[in-house]
Amino acid sequence: MEIDIAVRESDDRRLKTKYKNAIYVIQRAFALYSVDEVAFSFNGGKDSTVLLHLLRAGYYLHKAEKIGCNGDLMDGEIAYPIRTIYFESASAFPEINSFTYETAKSYGLQMEIIRLDFKAGLEALLKAKPIRAIFLGVRIGDPTAVGQEQFSPSSPGWPPFMRVNPILDWSYRDVWSFLLTCKVRYCSLYDEGYTSIGSVHDTVPNGLLCIRDSSNPEGKFRPAYLLADGRLERAGRVKKNSSPPCGQLASVSNGLKSRDLSWHSMLTASIIAVGDEILFGTVEDKLGSSLCRRLHSIGWTVSQLAVTRNDIDSVADEVVKRKSTNDMVFIYGGIGPLHSDVTLAGVAKAFGVRTAPDEEFEEYLRHLIGEKCTGDRNEMAQLPEGITELLHHEQLPVPLIKCHNVIILSATNVAELDLQWDCLLDLSSSNGLLVLMEPLQSKRLCTNTSDVEAAQPLSKLCLEFPDLYIGAYRASRNGPLIITFQGKDQGRIAAATAALSEKVHTGQFSEVD
C-alpha cells in the first residue's frame, strides 16, 4: 500500500510515530463499528486530505490483517468502501470544491454531497443511514477541538454519533511532513499561501508567507508548508476587506502582538540562558553572543539576551514574556536529568501544559545512553505535552526540541552550538523553520572626535537614516569612539557614513574590521 510504504521507508521517526498512532485509532474504530456504520467527513482541506490517506491505509491494513496476507495485497485488490460526506457550500473556494470532486473520482470515493448546514445535514444523514461514527480531520489547536479526545461523542443537541479524530495530536508540521512524504495531491490553494481554509468570506492567504520585493511589487506567497510557526496557521482567517494579506497583519487571533510582519520587516528573536552559575559570576555565557552573531548573519534582530535562574517559575516567566513578542525564542542551559535541569518544565509551564513521556525522544536517548535511565521512565524524555516538535537531523544524536516558537538548544559550549545551528539552518532550507532573511550589513568607524562633538551630529544622522541602526560605544573611557552602522542596504550605510564625515569636520574616521 503506497502510503504505508512511503511512511515506513521515510527516516522521519516522528512522522512514523504519529502515523502509527493514527492508524491505531482508525483500526480501533474498524473493530468497534462495521464499515456501513462509519463515515468520513471530507472537505478537500489539508487535514481531511491527510485523513483520507490514513483511512485508505488503515482500511487496507485492517483488511489485509483479516485476510491474513501480511500486507502483500495489491492496492487495487481492496476496494475502499468508506462512505464519504461533503457539506458543499456556495461560499467554498472553487479550488476546494473541484479538488474535493477530483479526489473523490481518483480514489473511487462513495461521496454523499450534503447541501444543508452541518447539524441539519447530519440529522438527515443519520435518519437515512445507520451511521454511528464519523472520522474528522480535527486537530488540537482548531477552535472546534476544545475538549475533544480521539473518540468523542457528538455534543449535546447534536444527533448521536461518535466523532473519531485520528489526527487530533498532529501538529501543522506533521500534516505537511505526511503530505510531502507520501507525495499525495493537495488543494492548489495551499501552494498559493493559504494555510487553513474556511470560506471565501473569511479566508485570505497567510501574510506571513508573503514575499514582496522589486520583482514582486504586488506581493506573492510562498507555499503553506513553508510556514515556520504552525501556531500562525489561522493567521489568514480574517475578514477579506479588513486586512491586506501582504503587509500589515491587522490582528492575529492567537495573541501575537499586532505589527508589521511583512517580508521586509525584521524578524526578531530573544535568547534565554538558564544558569545559576552565570548569575553567580562563576561561569561566563559564551553561547549568547555566539547565537546573536548567528542570528544577525541570517538577518534577524535579537531583542533580548536574558539570563535566568535554574528555577521552573523563573524560566516560565521569562518564556511567557518573550514568546508573544518575538518570532522565535532560543533557550539553552538546564537541559538534562539533574535536579537543576528544569528548563523543559519551565517551558511547559509557560505554555500551560504538563510534561509527559515522549516515546520517540526516549528511543533516541536509549540509543545514546542505553538503559541508564532514572526511575522507570527516563526523566529526560519528559517533554511539554502536545506542543513538542522534535527537530531531527542526521548529524545530531538527539533531536532538538521546539515548542511552538521556542527552540530548546541542548548545546553546552560554542562548538556544540555551531553544530546545532548548522543543523537548524539545514532543516530550515526544507521546512522553513527559520526564515532566512538578507544578512544585515554593518560597518564600524573609529574616530578621535570627542563625545561632545559627536553627540549632536549623530542624533541628527539617526533622524535622517531611520532605516539604519546607528550606535556608538567606547572600548575605554579615553580611547577612540566607535560608531556602528547596521542595516539591510550597503548603499544607505555608505550614504550615512559620508553624511557623518560632512557633519563632523574636526574628526578623522577610519573603518574598523
Ligand X SMILES: Cc1cc2nc3c(=O)[nH]c(=O)nc-3n(C[C@H](O)[C@H](O)[C@H](O)COP(=O)(O)O)c2cc1C
252 vs 339: CA distance, rounded Å: 38
Q: Which is nearer to ligand ATP, 207 or 480 (CB)?
A: 207
**What is the footprint of ligand X within residues 122-151 (CB under 6 A)?**
122, 134, 136, 144
Kindly provide the residue ranges of all beta strands, DSSP E only, lying in 358-421, ordered along the sequence. 382-384, 388-391, 400-403, 406-409
Contact 4, 60 (CB under 8 A): yes
Among 29, 52, 131, 197, binds Mg ion (CB under 5 A): 197
Interaction of residue 45 with Mg ion, rule CB under 5 A: yes
Segment interacting with ligand X, rule: CB under 6 A, options 104-112, 152-160, 270-278, 411-419: 152-160
- Closest residue to bound ligand ATP by CB: 45
Q: Which is nearer to ligand ATP, 236 or 480 (CB)?
A: 236
Q: Which does 412 bind (CB under 5 to 8 A by kind): ligand ATP, Mg ion, ligand X, none?
A: none
Of 132, 140, 130, 123, nearest in space to 163 by CA: 132
430 vs 410: CA distance, rounded Å: 22
Q: Which does 86 bind (CB under 5 to 8 A by kind): ligand X, ligand ATP, Mg ion, none?
A: ligand ATP
Least distance between ligand ATP and beta carbon 242 (Å) = 20
Least distance between ligand X and beta carbon 177 (Å) = 23
Least distance between ligand ATP and beta carbon 43 (Å) = 3
Residue 438, Cβ neighbours under 10 Å: how many?
A: 11
Q: Which does 158 bind (CB under 5 to 8 A by kind): ligand X, Mg ion, ligand ATP, none?
A: ligand X
Which residues contact ligand ATP by CB under 6 A?
A: 41-43, 45-48, 85-87, 136-138, 142, 196-197
* Contacts by residues 470-473 (CB-CB < 8 Å, ≥ 24 positions apart): 470/496
| String marking each residue 73-92 x if it binds ligand X according to CB under 6 A | --------------x-----
Task: Please state whether 149 falls in left (phi above 0), alpha (psi between -120 and 50) or beta.
Answer: beta
Q: Which does 48 bind (CB under 5 to 8 A by kind): Mg ion, ligand ATP, ligand X, none?
A: ligand ATP
Segment interacting with Mg ion, rule: CB under 5 A, options 41-49, 87-95, 161-169, 170-178: 41-49
Contact 133, 162 (CB under 8 A): yes
Which amino acid type is present at position 131? Answer: I
Q: What are the Cα distances from residue 486, in Å, to 34, 111, 265, 434, 483?
A: 66, 59, 15, 21, 10
The dihedral over CA atoms of 491, 288, 227, 20, expressed in degrees to the nearest 10, equals: 160
Q: How long is the chain? A: 513
* CA 390 centroid distance within chain: 11
Q: Which residues bind ligand X (CB under 6 A)?
A: 41, 87, 118, 122, 134, 136, 144, 154-155, 158, 163, 198
Interface positions with Mg ion (CB under 5 A):
45, 197
